[in-house]
Amino acid sequence: MNKFIVITGGTKGIGRALVLRFAEKGFDVITCARNKADLEVLKEEIEKSYNNKVHVKAADLSKREDIATFADFVLSTTPRVDVLINNTGIFLPGSIQDEPDGNLEMMMNTNLFSAYHLTRALLPSMLPHKQGHIFSMSSIAGITAYSSGGSYSITKYAMQGFTKCLREELKGEGIRVTSVLPGATFTASWEGVDLPHERFMKAEDVAESVWSAYALSDRTVVEEIVLRPQLGDI
């Protein structure tokens, strides 16, 4: 029987690269995104390429009711989650003093509360087995403040706090917890920026780093993965 991985925001960028990497390694995948058509395309692509299943559910994880619906979907698909990657996120640039009202609330709902509530909902499917791995997709902005980071950086610092607390709670439960902090990665968030592609990291490199951390023995945990473009932050 294949293991199950849950990856939120799996149709684009780093999320898509993660889905492809773990599917290639034989995992059955459960993922969500807001666009149902994109999910169906992803499902068809992977199931044609690999001998495993992809289960998809349209959901907007900035909404508490959609988090609950997606969690129910996961638990109706499998009684045991082996890996959870909280990848859903949104980036709205701006500084604290002049960013649009509501930026903080939108990004807290999407970047932090989605991970908090989904993790709480799915942990009962992991704890009895004394095994598993939870990844939080954070950002360099969660350890390095910058002037145009605004509420985005606030939410990523909060994500670091959430992940560190979770690591401490689950140490004795056999569940590994890893924070992933990528720098500028060439995804839709950077569309329109007048910089060469080569200046950015590849989403596939982030996915490979996550897989490498997972593939270690259960006796070892990578607590943080910090990744930056070779030429430094953008």
Catalytic residues: 152
- Cα gap 10→192, rounded to integer Å: 22
Torsion of CA 156, 136, 63, 92, to 10 degrees: 30
Q: Are 103 and 150 in contact (CB under 8 A)?
A: yes
Question: Which residue from 218, 162, 227 is spatially nearest to 200, judged by alpha carbons?
Answer: 227
- Cα gap 192→62, rounded to integer Å: 25
Using DSSP, state whether 82 is helix, strand or coil.
coil
- Cα gap 222→65, rounded to integer Å: 32
12 by Cβ neighbours in 10 Å (0-12 / 13-18 / 19+) ranks as middle
State whether the Cα torsion 44-49-54-59 is positive or negative: negative
Sheet holding 175-182, edge to edge: 54-58, 28-33, 4-8, 83-86, 132-137, 175-182, 224-227
